[in-house]
Amino acid sequence: MNMELKYQNIVLRDMEERDIDDEIRWNTVQTQWALWDAPWEMEEELSTFDPEAHRKKALEWIAKPKPDHRRSLEIDTWDGVHLGAVNCYCIDGDCNWLEAAPATEEERQKARWAVGLDICDPAYWNGGWGAQALAAFLRCHLDGGYAQLYTQTWSGNVRMTALAEKLGFRECRRKAGVRQVRGGTYDGLTFRLDRAAFEAYCAQPGAAVCIRPAEDPEEKAAAAASVLADLPDWFGLPDSTAQYVRVSRELPFWLAVADGRPVGFAALKETAPKTAEIYVMGVRPGLHRAGVGRRLFRALYRYAKERGYAFLQVKTVQEGRYPEYDRTNAFYRAVGFTELECFPTLWDEWNPCQVLVMAVQ
């Protein structure tokens, strides 16, 4: 019977035939992920990758009966976007990979298991999808009685190290200078899961949120309207709010979701060949100060940098007028903006328009 685990915004499931074309693309065209997952091995593997041989092997694997303890599962978003896979393998007391797992369930529960993942579509990097996928896989292991859980990476993979620490892993073994990557020498790292730290992470409100780009104009408009309706202290003028929703349909747009529901968004608008503006941005009140706004900002900042913008700007109400907008100003300063100029009557005399700017570096 096929396995499917639903957790927050992601689904972990058994591999299906429809996944094979994605895997071929990830091993031939969209290969950025391989720069970080054991790159000392992947360069050769990608250079010798045979799509048809891979297809045949994958079909044979799909047809085989699966053990109750899955060693790998595919990662989907809640709405069916295939992102990659999670996996696990056994390690010995010196943190070396073991080719074979124990034969019995009792022995497997006592073994040391290292978990890992690949999010193969860069558009979904740094959006919380990897954290939720790995958290779901960890939860599956813990619920199944697998208590000795680890993850392994190399010291040059800063994102994976940060993810491990965020989820509650703590470094337990470092093998100095064992990895050679793109002309550099790096350490091999092993982390062990601290169960209490993992549970504390999972209890944080922001842990349930993922960030992704949105393309469909109707989805953008619906999300913007829903979130802005929850923020009357910032977006209380119906005509202005309707304009934000209408214009956002056609702009680069990022969506924060929790359990498939929009909880925040940001839209970016080009105002000059080298400058873009955070046109509108909002997060539902229950998730303020939970890191969701910062994650939306990082997604649009990365987009601006990749497209060669030199500056970002944002307009808000001048500080000192309303407590709500004082918090907005504080947020933008915290992520790197600075005041450029105030236009006292651009909007109206009760809402002086403060322009903040930052360099994209």
- CA pseudo-torsion sign 317, 321, 324, 327: positive
- Picking from 316, 244, 256, the residue whose alpha carbon sits closest to that of residue 286 is 256
What pLDDT digit, counting tens, does each position of 230-266 carry? 999 999 889 999 999 999 999 999 999 998 899 999 9
CATH 3.30.365.10 assigned to domain 4-203? The reply is no
Pairing of strands 275-283, 209-214: unpaired
pLDDT, residue 72, reads 96
pLDDT, residue 314, reads 98
Q: Which CATH number is 208-359's, of 3.40.50.2300, 3.40.50.300, 3.40.50.150, 3.40.630.30?
A: 3.40.630.30
Pairing of strands 72-77, 82-91: antiparallel
What pLDDT digit, counting tens, does each position of 20-57 carry? 999 999 999 999 999 999 999 999 999 999 999 999 99
- What average pLDDT is seen over the chain? 95
What one-letter code names the amino acid at 287? L
What's the Cα-to-Cα distance from 196 to each of 3, 38, 169, 199, rounded to whole Å? 27, 29, 10, 5
Contact by Cβ (8 Å): 145, 158? no
pLDDT, residue 15, reads 97
pLDDT, residue 123, reads 86
Q: How confident is the model at residue 205 (pLDDT cuts 50, 70, 90)?
A: confident
What pLDDT digit, counting tens, does each position of 312-352 carry? 999 999 999 999 999 999 999 999 999 999 999 898 888 99
Q: Which residues lie below 8 Å from residue 224, measured CB to CB, with a gap of 6+?
A: 244, 245, 248, 265, 267, 280, 282
pLDDT, residue 60, reads 96
What pLDDT digit, counting tens, does each position of 96-124 carry? 999 999 989 999 999 999 999 999 998 89
| 300: its two tokens | 């649009």
What pLDDT digit, counting tens, does each position of 63-76 carry? 999 988 899 999 99
Pairing of strands 209-214, 253-258: antiparallel
The stretches of 176-253 forming alpha helices (DSSP H) are 195-202, 217-229, 238-248
pTM of the model: 0.81
Quote the CA–CA distance of 303 and 177 in Å, as a whole number: 34
Q: Do domains 4-203 and 208-359 have the same CATH topology?
A: yes
The stretches of 168-291 forming alpha helices (DSSP H) are 195-202, 217-229, 238-248
Q: Which residues lie below 8 Å from residue 240, measured CB to CB, with a gap of 6+?
A: none
pLDDT, residue 191, reads 98
pLDDT, residue 311, reads 98
Q: In the predicted model, what is the mean pLDDT of residues 128-146? A: 95
What pLDDT digit, counting tens, does each position of 293-307 carry? 999 999 999 999 999
| 350: its two tokens | 């009760």
The stretches of 87-231 forming alpha helices (DSSP H) are 105-110, 129-143, 158-167, 195-202, 217-229
| 336: its two tokens | 């790197």
Task: Please state, for a pLDDT cut of 70, what percent of the chain lies above it.
Answer: 100
| 52: its two tokens | 């048809």
Quote the CA–CA distance of 127 and 83 in Å, as a whole number: 12
What one-letter code names the amino acid at 208? A
Q: How confident is the model at residue 79 (pLDDT cuts 50, 70, 90)?
A: confident
pLDDT, residue 361, reads 93
Q: Is 345 exposed, middle or buried (CB count within 10 Å of its CB: 0-12, 13-18, 19+)?
A: exposed
Domain ranges of the chain: 4-203, 208-359
Contact by Cβ (8 Å): 9, 77? yes
**333 in helix, strand or coil?**
helix
What's the Cα-to-Cα distance from 297 to each of 55, 66, 290, rounded to whole Å? 39, 42, 13
Residue 1 has pLDDT above 80, yes or no: no
